[in-house]
Amino acid sequence: MLKMKSVSKTYRTDMVETHALREFSLTVDEGEFVSVTGPSGSGKTTFLNIAGMLEELTSGTYELDGRDISSLNDRERSKVRNEKIGFIFQSFNLIPELDVFDNVDVPLRYRGFNADERKRRIEKCLDMVGLTSRMKHYPGQLSGGQQQRVAIARALAGEPRFLLADEPTGNLDTNMAESVLDLLAEINDGGTTIIMVTHELTLANRAKRNIFVRDGQVSDGPPELHFAAAANA
Amino acid sequence: MFRYYLRLGLLSIRANPALSALMVAAIAIGIGACMTIVNVRHVMSDNPISHKNDVLFHVQVDNWSPDEPYEDPNEPPEQMTYLDAKALHDAGRAYRQVASFKSGRVVQPAGDDARPFQETVRATTADFFAMFDVPFAFGSGWDQASDLSEERVVVLSSSINEELFGGKDSVGELLRMNDETYRVVGVLAPWTPVPKFYDVNNNPFEEPERIYLPFSLAISGEFGSGGNTSCWKPSGEGGYAAFLASECIWMQMWVELRNDAERQDYAEFLDAYVSEQKLLGRFPRELNNRLSTPAQWLENRDVVDDNVNMLLSLAVLFLIVCLLNTIGLLLAKVMRRTNDISLRRALGASKSALFSQYIIEAGLIGLAGGLLGIGLTWLGLQGIENIYAEYDFIKNLLRMDWSMIFVAVALAIVSALGAALYPTWRACSISPAATLRIQ
């Protein structure tokens, strides 16, 4: 379970103080598929970064599986991130000089698995995303949709409890976006909790729960409501 | 993980060939310049008889002028008079003792076409070869009986044996010098101690003499000094005999003392000898005898030229400049790879894991720079040899041994790791969220 309570995140420079999240409270239960929508600059990505422990919160509490992660040091945070969280990015973020196999291998290396175990997991995940035959291809030799599938395989290889997706279909055409969303839904059906940031209503509707972020604060409800409110604002 | 990081390092170098090549070149040039001078200094400051450093001692007694020391502040003369060298040698109070001096002869090779040539020789006592572990290819040195009987024998170096006898076992062959015939009793294996520790007063970096003959024979034959000779008062009339009886210093004296007790006994013997000589009107200065190990003696004589030390300082500064350039290049490389760094952080790499990855990559670059630096060092040494080709001894300073190769690679790796610390720290400090958000 992911639980944030009164989380605030403030970015400070010499001149300006920006409140990206204010008193942000949210609980995501195991197995949920949550879409996070909101206007540009509302704090969606900041929320996702804090959820993924890529950024530290300014105040409030954040528990992941009952553990207060704000007290962890860098090594412990990295370990939790590696074991419990998978990331999917809009721009795939594959490492160009590594082939598909080695890209999926990256989080497993930090996990310390032996070669056999890593190979088993990589092959299983690539099979799941339908790219077993492209194992020795380099990212530059794949289409956008295939690259995102590799990224999903990489995110799944460590069998994380949470999958955090930031605009996972933002760089894909409609057909490819649909197939990626189908894949995410399938993964969610397998029990993995998914939190997906998107600004597209159709994609948000594929999630089982929708939350809307505005001015760094969160509200639940059907996305249409929020989109309409945002449009009228 | 070490192998994984090595592989990532190689991939990174391959992915940024120009930047990597610049870094390798910067390190290699710095190492090449630095190691060229370090190598020369290493050879100059070497102690070729270090394995006997505890038991060999250079002997000094202070027979100099009552009015001023031989060298400030109160250094005794670096060489010895014939009187003292002969007396100390003949006393035989050390386990081994060697009195010797540099001289010259005209060698007259056999054969009608062969032309005579001038050659430096070393007149020395029998213990020279055993005391200094001089290696023999054929035969041996002469014994003390030959010393006493002034036997007309010689030991040849391998190079002159090659010239005169084609490199064969020439023991028993005859050699003519200054119209006198000598019998060859031994031929040395190649032996070039650098510095020439047993006589640093006469260019410590020149080749050892190529012909050795008995000290007593040289004295009876009135061989002159071929090296430096210093006198604090005129030697007087009377030719060679007067020169031998003078206070002029021109001989080198070494003893082998196997333990502290022998050393103590010999020091007391020296004091007693000088005190006795004082009664005869010699040694007007206070007791100032010295027994110096080879290392102490080389240090005392400042065998390493001050200019070399200055050049070394400049070379180290140049290496630092090269490393500063490397730091800049590494920083540029890190900045180009912020996405990779952030991604790895997001996928579970701790800061320490990233630090290891980048340090190992820097070590690889250092290794490549070190290997290339060895090549540049070799070129540098060749360049020095070409510039100073007219000086025969210079080639003795331009050797590169395994220890220096190891030092070059180690210095390159350590330098690269040092240069990588700041860029690596920057890499580890990159906020993954900030970078990944920009993508």
| CB within 8 Å: B339 and A93 | yes
A217-231: pLDDT as tens digits: 887 666 666 566 555
- For position B221, what pLDDT does the model report? 94
In a mutational test of the B interface, the residue from A109, A111, A114 whose CB has the highest number of chain B CBs within 10 Å is A109
Q: Is residue B148 less than 8 Å (CB to CB) from chain A? A: no
Q: Is residue B349 less than 8 Å (CB to CB) from chain A? A: yes
**Residue ending a domain, choose from B300, B324, B344:** B300
Cβ-nearest to B432 among A54, A95, A166: A54
Q: How far is A100 from chain B (nearest CA, A)?
A: 15
Return the residue of B nearest to A111 by Cα. Answer: B348
Q: What is the share, in percent, of chain A residues with pLDDT greater than 90?
A: 17
Which residue range is the domain that position B161 belongs to? 52-300
Q: How far is residue B240's CA from residue B220's CA, in Å, rounded to a whole number?
A: 10
| CB within 8 Å: A97 and B14 | yes
Say which residue, B398 or A233, is predicted with more confidence.
Answer: B398
| CB within 8 Å: B437 and A45 | yes
Closest CA to B37 of B412, B301, B304, B386: B304
Return the residue of A nearest to B11 by Cα. Answer: A97
| CB within 8 Å: A74 and B350 | yes
Q: Total domain count for chain B? A: 2
The residues near B403 (Cβ < 8 Å, ≥ 6 apart) are B42
Q: How far is residue A166's CA from residue A91's CA, in Å, rounded to a whole number?
A: 9
Whether residues B316 and B287 share a domain: the answer is no
Whether residues B8 and B148 share a domain: the answer is no
| CB within 8 Å: A49 and B437 | yes
Whether residues B295 and B309 share a domain: the answer is no
| CB within 8 Å: A54 and B346 | yes
A178-195: pLDDT as tens digits: 887 888 888 888 888 999
| CB within 8 Å: B346 and A87 | yes
**Three-state DSSP state, A43:** coil
- For position A226, what pLDDT does the model report? 59
Query: What are the per-10-residue average pLDDT scores of chain B (439 residues)?
Result: 89 87 90 85 84 96 93 93 96 96 94 88 96 97 92 96 95 95 96 90 86 96 92 85 93 96 96 95 93 93 80 88 87 83 88 88 89 89 78 71 84 84 82 65
| CB within 8 Å: B347 and A106 | yes
Whether residues B203 and B173 share a domain: the answer is yes
Q: Is residue B339 less than 8 Å (CB to CB) from chain A? A: yes
Residues of chain B with C-beta less than 8 angstroms from the C-beta of A45: 437
Residues of chain A with C-beta less than 8 angstroms from the C-beta of B4: 109
Whether residues B131 and B267 share a domain: the answer is yes
**Three-state DSSP state, A188:** helix
CA B205, B206, B209, B214 torsion-angle sign = negative
The residues near B95 (Cβ < 8 Å, ≥ 6 apart) are B55, B255, B256, B257, B258, B262
Start-to-end C-alpha separation, chain A: 33
- For position B289, what pLDDT does the model report? 94
Q: Is residue B1 less than 8 Å (CB to CB) from chain A? A: yes
Query: What does residue A216 show for φ and ψ, rounded to 5 degrees?
Result: 80, 10
User: Strands A85-88 and A162-166: what pairing?
Assistant: parallel
Whether residues B155 and B17 share a domain: the answer is no
Closest CA to B123 of B201, B196, B224, B193: B224
| CB within 8 Å: A109 and B346 | no
Angstrom CA distances, B302 to A150, B101, B404, stand at 69, 21, 22
Whether residues B69 and B206 share a domain: the answer is yes
Whether residues B143 and B23 share a domain: the answer is no
Dihedral angle over CA of A154, A157, A159, A160, nearest 10: -20
Between CA B86 and CA B94, with CA B91 as vertex, the angle to 5 degrees is 105
- For position B438, what pLDDT does the model report? 43
Whether residues B105 and B121 share a domain: the answer is yes
Which run of H or E residues covers position A19? strand A17-28
Residues of chain B with C-beta less than 8 angstroms from the C-beta of A79: 348, 350
Q: How far is residue B155's CA from residue B11's CA, in Å, rounded to a whole number?
A: 61
Supply the ipTM of this predicted assembly.
0.87
Q: How does A185-211 read in b/e, with b if 16+ C-beta sit within 10 Å?
A: eebbeeebbbbbbbbbbebbebbeebb
Cβ-nearest to B347 among A55, A96, A107: A107
- For position B439, what pLDDT does the model report? 43
Residues of chain B with C-beta less than 8 angstroms from the C-beta of A90: 439
Whether residues B175 and B315 share a domain: the answer is no
A126-180: pLDDT as tens digits: 988 888 888 899 999 998 888 888 988 898 888 888 989 888 877 777 777 788 7
* Residues of chain A that touch chain B, judged by Cβ-Cβ distance less than 8 Å: 45, 49, 52, 54-55, 74-75, 78-79, 81-83, 87, 89-91, 93, 95-98, 106-107, 109-111, 154, 158, 166
Domains of chain A, CATH where assigned: 2-232 (3.40.50.300)
Q: Is residue B352 less than 8 Å (CB to CB) from chain A? A: yes
Q: Is residue B433 less than 8 Å (CB to CB) from chain A? A: yes
**Residue ending a domain, choose from B268, B300, B332:** B300
Q: Is residue B83 less than 8 Å (CB to CB) from chain A? A: no
Whether residues B249 and B375 share a domain: the answer is no
Cβ-nearest to A75 among B4, B339, B352: B352
Tell me what the mean pLDDT of segment A187-213 comes to.
86
Return the residue of A nearest to B10 by Cα. Answer: A97
**Residue ending a domain, choose from B257, B283, B300:** B300
Cβ-nearest to A110 among B347, B351, B431: B347
Q: How far is A206 from chain B (nearest CA, A)?
A: 24
Is residue B66 a contact partner of residue B340, using CB atoms and an 8 Å limit? no
Size of interface A-B (CB pairs under 8 A): 68
Return the residue of A nearest to B435 by Cα. Answer: A54
**DSSP 8-state secondary structure symbol assigned to residue A221:** S
What is the pTM for the complete model shown?
0.68
Q: How far is residue A66's CA from residue B293's CA, in Å, rounded to a whole number?
A: 73
Is residue B274 a contact partner of residue B289, using CB atoms and an 8 Å limit? yes
